[in-house]
Amino acid sequence: MLEISRIRNEKETIIEGLKKRNIDATETLNQILGLDQEWRATKTQLESISAELNSLAKEIGQLFKEGKQAEANTAKTKTSELKDSESKLKERVDELDKEITQLLYTLPNVPNELVQSGRDEKDNETVFEFGQTPEFNFEPLPHWELAKKLNLIDFELGVKVTGAGFPFYRGKGARLQRALIAFFLDEAHNAGYEEFIPPHVVNEASGYGTGQLPDKEGQMYYIGADDLYLIPTAEVPLTNIFRDVILPDDKFSIKLTGYTPCFRREAGSYGKDVRGLNRLHQFDKVEIVRVEHPDNTAAALEEMIEHVKGLLEKLGLQYRILRLCGGDTGFASAMTYDFEVYSAAQDKWLEVSSCSRFDTFQSNRLKLRFKGADKKTQLCHTLNGSALALPRIVAALLENHQTEEGVVIPEVLRKYTGFDSI
């Protein structure tokens, strides 16, 4: 959520920044500033009346002490009138606060200066490429055919038991899945991330804290009976550990990791790249989350990018890194780098990770602050990244490492799988 002080001081800069997302925020910002002006004026009135009431309370006490009962009763009548005004002003301050907050919730984060304008994925900028396209002396099979042939994943059974987008992993497919999770967690541990096993459902406050709510696209699964949401990523519970927390200045950097299943309705994506593992409603992912001093945000993002690069290179996968344009950058993100791996049999790039910096956008919602050496509090910066999301990693591993006999397992995974080929 954008800070109201920033809107007051940088209105035109924010308008220009949001144009990178193809959003004209002028009307909304003017509305916010108008309500803010009324809020401040009302707040001033309220504070003045509260001060007068305090003064009158002391005066009434003194008058009674001096035996001036008539004067004291007159003052009490005035007090009653002032309390009525105070109550109405408090109510209006609360109303204005809610109106401002609801408007602020509609505004996305302002893109970083490095982010280019653009409408969609076609306007994203490739900033790094690694690896060579696999070559085969036979016709490579797509992962859904390999998975069926080798009895690794059962998509039809998932449809029977639950529905499309909820596959069964079985046999060596299940072991490969578990091996990848363990490998990613071990690598995160070695990089200094503390491991958590968080809840897989969160309350409404947590959803608002990280920017998933309000959920205009309807992407979150909602449990109405308990007013809870299935998590779309471990980022949500991990970041919310620090909701309403004031950290000491010497606490940074905070580095967290966690494996969770993730649940996404993927509303509006039916018929779009949904074959096999390309798009699921439930999938596994290892997430890395950072809470940083504002001075270290850029360096932290670079560290996260290097971490993900290392994972993909150890798995022997060809990949590229894209800096997303304004129109393709997530609502809460100030800047995002997407990692895509090449799918040999499908002849296309598949997104497997996003590394993002949110600056103060999430921490303002979370009220996540730190106390500096000057004893003043200010908002922390937050970041997160997939390290990694498993479905398309599995798809790329099966397709890119296939032979006529089966699939070769990358060396780094063999101690986890217990086998070197499928």
Q: What residues are paired with 353 via a beta bridge? A: 339
- Inside any domain, residue 116: no
- Inside any domain, residue 111: no
Q: What residues are paired with 309 via a beta bridge? A: none
Q: Which residues contact 35 (CB under 8 A, 6 or more apart)?
A: 96, 99, 100, 103
Domain end: 75, 105, 135, which one?
Answer: 105
Domain end: 71, 105, 139, which one?
Answer: 105
Task: Judge if 317 and 238 occupy the same domain.
Answer: yes
For the purposes of burial, counting CB atoms within 10 Å of the CB of 362, is it exposed (0-12), middle (13-18) or buried (19 or more)? buried
Rounded CA-CA distance 322/339 in Å is 7
How would you write the pLDDT of the chain (422 residues) with one tens digit per residue?
Answer: 999 999 999 999 999 999 999 999 999 999 999 999 999 999 999 999 988 888 887 777 776 776 777 776 676 777 888 888 899 999 999 999 999 999 999 999 999 999 999 999 999 999 999 999 999 999 999 999 999 999 999 999 999 999 999 999 999 999 999 999 999 999 999 999 999 999 999 999 999 999 999 987 789 999 999 999 999 999 999 999 999 999 988 889 999 999 999 999 987 665 557 789 999 999 999 999 999 999 999 999 999 999 999 999 999 999 999 999 999 999 999 999 999 999 999 999 999 999 999 999 999 999 999 998 888 999 999 999 999 999 999 999 999 999 999 999 999 999 999 999 99
Task: Judge if 392 and 283 occupy the same domain.
Answer: yes
- Inside any domain, residue 231: yes
- Inside any domain, residue 190: yes
- Inside any domain, residue 112: no
**Does 5 sit behind a cis peptide bond, omega within 30 degrees of 0 on the bond before it?**
no
Task: Judge if 173 and 260 occupy the same domain.
Answer: yes
Task: Judge if 43 and 189 occupy the same domain.
Answer: no
Task: Judge if 55 and 177 occupy the same domain.
Answer: no
Task: Judge if 172 and 214 occupy the same domain.
Answer: yes
- Inside any domain, residue 280: yes
Task: Judge if 126 and 93 occupy the same domain.
Answer: no
Task: Judge if 36 and 75 occupy the same domain.
Answer: yes
The CATH number of residue 151's host domain is 3.30.930.10
- Inside any domain, residue 110: no
- The SS3 of residue 211 is coil
Answer whether 155's CB lies under 8 Å from 144's CB: yes
Structure tokens at 294: 């504002």
Task: Judge if 96 and 158 occupy the same domain.
Answer: no
The CATH number of residue 12's host domain is 1.10.287.40
CB count within 10 Å of CB 268 equals 10
Domain end: 70, 105, 140, which one?
Answer: 105
Task: Judge if 158 and 183 occupy the same domain.
Answer: yes
Task: Judge if 73 and 170 occupy the same domain.
Answer: no
Task: Judge if 96 and 130 occupy the same domain.
Answer: no
Q: Which domain holds residue 35?
A: 4-105
- Inside any domain, residue 115: no
Structure tokens at 391: 């479905």
- Tally the domains of the chain: 2
